[in-house]
């Protein structure tokens, strides 16, 4: 299934002369097998050059049941900080994005409110709710249980992480139409220091995962 872009993306893209590399349905036959049968797949792009690393994503769109995976491939994989090779007993923790962290932003089409799921390689997680751009809502959103995190045969040059999470029944986003826009992202910290920011698109001088005009993808 081909992804449809958020219409705001086209308007923002026309304001810049340099067009981003667009994610396409992944042709990953030369890289790795898909971890599950997903409807939407693509490549993440680093905001600044990051040699020796490619990141792909898979996502099965469903507003309540979130199912996504990331694949990190390349020689730089072995140099990523906090890329643990086993999943521990994850806890809900804040500021996971200050180190290696896998994320999903999602919202209903036509709504200013949105949510952000963070998961680190150890299985620690958090879920945030926003009323509009970067404005936290007063409600602390819940999952029915901690995310299920699976690592698949990690090696020094490859790291696959699969994430399943289920929103609680009282989540406000579950009310109304289930037409979804989403953006898979990740933050990568290298052992040498410094962070790189990965998303399907980058249109700003500074990385900004919250900006929906950057090209959140419509299912």
pLDDT of residue 163: 95
User: Does the pLDDT of residue 156 top 60, yes or no?
Assistant: yes
Q: For residue 60, what are the domain limits?
A: 4-204+211-218
Nearest to 198 by CA among 40, 24, 45: 45
pTM of the model: 0.82
* pLDDT number for residue 127: 96
Cα separation of 44 and 162, whole Å?
A: 16
pLDDT value of residue 78: 93
**What values do phi and psi take at 39, rounded to 5?**
-80, -30
Alpha-carbon dihedral sign for residues 50, 53, 58, 59? negative
Q: Look at strands 195-199 and 40-46 and give their pairing.
A: antiparallel
Mean pLDDT of 102-113: 91
112 vs 172, residue with greater confidence = 112
> Of 205, 213, 212, 200, whose CA–CA distance to 18 is shortest?
205
pLDDT top residue among 150 and 153:
150
3-class DSSP state for residue 77?
helix
pLDDT tens-digit series, residues 64-97: 889 999 999 999 999 999 887 677 778 999 999 9
- Residue 29 buriedness (CB in 10 A; 0-12 / 13-18 / 19+): exposed
Residue 96 belongs to domain with CATH number: 2.60.40
- Residues 131-150 have a mean pLDDT of 91
How many domains in the chain? Answer: 1
CB environment 139-149: b (16+ within 10 A), e (fewer): eebebeeebeb
Under the phi-then-psi rule, with left for phi > 0, alpha for psi from -120 to 50, and beta for the rest, what region is 17? alpha
Number of H helices, E strands in the chain: 1, 13
pLDDT of residue 177: 59
Mean pLDDT (whole number) for 168-189: 82
Pairwise CA distance, residues 76 & 153, whole Å = 17
On the CB side of 21, CA atoms within 13 Å amount to 12
Answer whether residue 147 shows pLDDT above 80. yes
198, 46 contact by CB (below 8 A): yes
Tokens representing residue 92 in the block: 């809900």
């Amino acid at each position: 299934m081909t992804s449809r872009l958020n219409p705001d993306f086209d308007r923002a893209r026309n304001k810049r002369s340099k067009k981003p590399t667009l994610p396409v349905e992944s042709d990953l036959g030369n890289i790795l097998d898909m971890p599950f049968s997903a409807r939407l797949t693509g490549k993440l792009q680093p905001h600044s050059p990051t040699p020796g690393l490619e990141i792909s994503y898979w996502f099965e769109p469903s507003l309540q049941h979130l199912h996504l995976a990331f694949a990190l491939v390349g020689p730089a994989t072995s140099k990523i900080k906090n890329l643990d090779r086993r999943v521990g007993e994850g806890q809900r923790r804040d500021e996971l994005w200050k180190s290696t962290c896998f994320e999903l932003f999602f919202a209903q089409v036509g709504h200013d409110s949105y949510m952000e799921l963070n998961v680190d390689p150890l299985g620690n997680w958090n879920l945030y709710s926003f009323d509009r751009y970067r404005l936290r809502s007063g409600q602390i959103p819940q999952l029915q249980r901690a995310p299920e995190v699976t690592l698949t045969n990690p090696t020094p040059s490859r790291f696959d992480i699969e994430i399943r999470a289920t929103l609680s029944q009282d989540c406000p986003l579950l009310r109304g139409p289930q037409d979804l826009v989403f953006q898979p992202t990740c933050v990568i910290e290298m052992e040498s220091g410094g962070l790189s920011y990965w998303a399907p698109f980058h249109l700003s001088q500074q990385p900004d995962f919250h900006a929906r005009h950057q090209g959140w993808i419509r299912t």
